[in-house]
Every structure is written in structure tokens, then in C-alpha cells.
Amino acid sequence: MHTHLSDHLSAERLAALADDELTTSEAAHVTSCPPCAADLAAHRRLLARAREEGQIPSVPLTRWETLAPQLAAAGLIRRRALRWPVRIAAALVLAAGGALFGRYTATPRVVAQASVGADNIDDSMPIFRSAAEALATLNRAERDYRHASAYLVAQNPETTVSDRRDAYRARLAALDEVAQATAAGLQEVPNDPVLNQYYLSTVGARNATLRQLKGALPVGFRLERY
């Protein structure tokens, strides 16, 4: 019973009363005891602010770009199977890129041997004297490949505009996956030249394909999603 001013409510009981009902005797005490009334009010203010805090969202701690590769590795994200023309195109790009990167990453000894035996090498085989030269060649090859692919698609009389749009969409989906995978790899090894080049090439190819897809849309249509 807390009927006398000297019988203050304990600190823990006051804390409990922040969201609990006072007994009759406690209510009588609090009414006549300003210190206990003030403590109880303070507890209720504290609880009200804590409850408000629970309703306030915060900036996420996670990033989808980091989370998605882990979900994919766990088999929770199921990638759509690529259509066979896209698979072939992807294989060609990877093979061409791989060959060029192989040369780029070759040791100086190998390059030197190639220079010595240059007379015996087909004229079409490039010989690089620096990484910058190799990268410039790679960028040219990638650009030429894109243009050649676009030309072949455009010249194919059996390819309708609708087919081209489908092809562009399928390519964009594939490029998105490659960009995501290389971006995830770059988070592990930010300075890796091979991953960097693949990432930049993929983003470049993606932008070019987006432009092509926009060009294949009927007049007056805007591309909002693909």
C-alpha cells in the first residue's frame, strides 16, 4: 500500500507503470505525491518517444547489388535461360574478349617471343607494345563487333522489326546479368583489369543496345521498360 507520501513508488514500479494501470492505492499516492507523479510522467514521455522511434524507417543497411549475388549463389534467384542466339553471341563476345585479354595479360617474355617470330605470324594477328595499345585494340574490336552484329541483324531479310526488338530485349537481359556479376566481382577486387574491362564493355554494349531498341520502336513510342 502506498498511502503515505513517504512510501514512494519504487523506480522499477514507476517504470512498469509507463504502460500499466495504477492500483487504487498507487493512484491515490501519485495524486498526492508530486515527485512520483513527475517520475511517472517522465516514464510515459520516454515510452511515447520510444514508440515513435519504432515507426520511423531508416536508410537500409543492405544494398541490392551486394545482396543479389549472394541470393543467386544460394539458388534463391533463378536466372532465366538465355535463348540460343544470345548464348552464341555471348560465347563469341567472351571468346573474342578472352583471346584479347589473354594477350593483354601475357607475360613480357611471351610478347617478346612473339615479336621475334613476327615474320612467321599471320599479318592479322596484332602485336602489342603496351597495355594501352592492347586496350585500345580491344575497344575497337568490341565496337566493330557491335556494329557488325547490328548490320547483320538489319540486313537479314527474315528478321522482322519485332524479332529485332525481342533480340534487343534478350540481349539487354543478358547484359544486365553480366554487368551485375562483374560489378559484384569488382567489389571484391576493385582494381582487377579484366573485370573492369568486362564491366565497362558490358555497360557500353548495354547503352548501345538500349539505343537500338529505342530505334526499333514505332514512332511516338517511348521506352520506359524492357
Partner 1 sequence: MNTDDELVRRAIAGDERAMRQLWSLHAPRIDALVRRLVPDPDRAADVAQEVWIQIFRALPSFRGDSQFATWAHRIAVNGTLNAIRRAKRVDFAEAGGPVQEDTVAVEPDDEAPFVRASIIEAANRLAPGARTVFVLHDIEGYTHEEIAESLGITPGGSKSQLFKARAKLKRWLAHLVDGKTRDAHTPV
Q: What is the DSSP letter of 129?
A: S
Main-chain dihedrals φ then ψ at residue 75, nearest 5 degrees = 80, 15
User: Which span (22-30, 48-56, 100-108, 198-206) binds partner 1, by CB under 8 A?
Assistant: 48-56
- Tell the smallest beta-carbon distance from residue 224 to partner 1 (Å): 15
Candidates 1, 5, 27, 67: give the one binding partner 1 (CB under 8 A): 67
User: Which span (1-9, 91-99, 108-116, 144-152) binds partner 1, by CB under 8 A?
Assistant: 1-9
Check binding of 21 to partner 1 (CB under 8 A): no
- Tell the smallest beta-carbon distance from residue 203 to partner 1 (Å): 19
> For partner 1, which is the closer residue by CB, 35 or 193?
35
Written as nine digits, the cell of 7 is 512510501
Check binding of 25 to partner 1 (CB under 8 A): no
The separation between CA 3 and the C-alpha centre of its own chain, rounded to angstroms, equals 65
Check binding of 169 to partner 1 (CB under 8 A): no
Check binding of 62 to partner 1 (CB under 8 A): yes
One-letter amino acid at 139 equals N
Check binding of 11 to partner 1 (CB under 8 A): yes
Q: What is the DSSP letter of 20?
A: S
Check binding of 9 to partner 1 (CB under 8 A): yes
Q: How large is the angle between the packed helices 84-104 and 131-155, nearest 10 degrees? A: 160
DSSP 138-174: HHHHHHHHHHHHHHHHHH-TT--HHHHHHHHHHHHHH
Rounded CA-CA distance 149/16 in Å is: 73
Task: Using the structure block, give the residue that is written with the C-alpha cell 575497344.
Answer: 139
Measured in residues, the chain has a length of 226
Check binding of 47 to partner 1 (CB under 8 A): yes
Other CB atoms within a 10 A radius of the CB of residue 223 amount to: 12
Instruction: Give the per-residue contact string, 71-110, with partner 1 (x = CB under 8 A; - = no).
Output: xx-x-xxxx-------------------------------
User: Which span (31-39, 105-113, 122-130, 140-148) binds partner 1, by CB under 8 A?
Assistant: 31-39
Q: What is the DSSP letter of 57?
A: -
Contacting positions for partner 1 (CB under 8 A): 7-16, 18, 34-36, 38-39, 41-43, 45-47, 49-54, 56-62, 64, 66-68, 70-72, 74, 76-79
